[in-house]
Amino acid sequence: MNRILLHICCGVCASQAVLRLREENFDVAGFFYNPNIHPQEEYFRREETARQVSSILKFDLLRGPYDKDNWFAKTKGLENKAEGGRRCNLCFKIRLEETYKMARQMNIFKFSTTLTISPHKDSGLINEIGKEIDREAFIFRDFKKEAGFQLAIEFAKRYNLYRQDYCGCIYSRRERKIS
């Protein structure tokens, strides 16, 4: 069985990605690393949901640092870019690079991300970023296929899990005009 480190953007999205990777004989370890999520209360809610899913599905969950200051520094100048543009691309790269580093530290030779389950995210772009980091180690997937997103929603309802209503960063929150 191949071990894989799966970047987890939120617990609900992780549910279907973990199940699919297990069907492919991967031994999944989760990595919650999301310095983009704001405000901090939202970060903790999403982290708790990821913990709940790891408990339900019985997989190891590691937590990366909540390095929001570094995230703000790296995305400086992109604050007014629309969601889905250059800021998001950089954010994907930041999170996937950290996942890759953690995988290497743990002697795990494959990595992927739950980000591709979202119908609002460009899976091709996310997968390209992963391949640029390490073509051999990154597992290219589009978890939204085969009703992945809908199954994740059903999983959340079945287990009464928190589901967010914006991508995560303060800028996407503003775009959606969430108070």
pLDDT in tens, 104-121: 999 999 999 999 999 989
- The model's confidence at residue 75, banded by pLDDT at 50, 70 and 90, is very high
Looking at residue 23, its pLDDT comes to 97
Residue 178 has pLDDT above 60, yes or no: no
**CA 72 centroid distance within chain:** 18
Looking at residue 129, its pLDDT comes to 98
> Domains in the chain: how many in total?
1
Looking at residue 91, its pLDDT comes to 96
For residues 48 and 83, the answer to whether their CB atoms sit within 8 Å is no
Looking at residue 80, its pLDDT comes to 80
| C-beta neighbour count of 91 within 10 angstroms | 23
Give the pTM: 0.94
Looking at residue 167, its pLDDT comes to 80
Supply the DSSP symbol for 138.
Answer: B
Please give the share of the chain, as a percent, with pLDDT higher than 90: 84
Q: How far apart are CA 35 and CA 32, in angstroms?
A: 10
Looking at residue 82, its pLDDT comes to 75
Q: How far apart are CA 118 and CA 147, in angstroms?
A: 11
Residue 179 has pLDDT above 60, yes or no: no
Please give the share of the chain, as a percent, with pLDDT higher than 70: 98
Query: What's the mean per-residue pLDDT of the chain?
Result: 94
Q: How far apart are CA 21 and CA 27, in angstroms?
A: 8
Q: Residue 21 belongs to what domain range?
A: 2-175
Q: How far apart are CA 35 and CA 33, in angstroms?
A: 6
- The model's confidence at residue 131, banded by pLDDT at 50, 70 and 90, is very high
For residues 31 and 9, the answer to whether their CB atoms sit within 8 Å is no
pLDDT in tens, 19-58: 999 999 999 999 999 999 999 999 999 999 999 999 999 9
Instruction: Write the CATH number for 18.
Output: 3.40.50.620
pLDDT in tens, 152-167: 999 999 999 999 887 8
For residues 43 and 135, the answer to whether their CB atoms sit within 8 Å is no
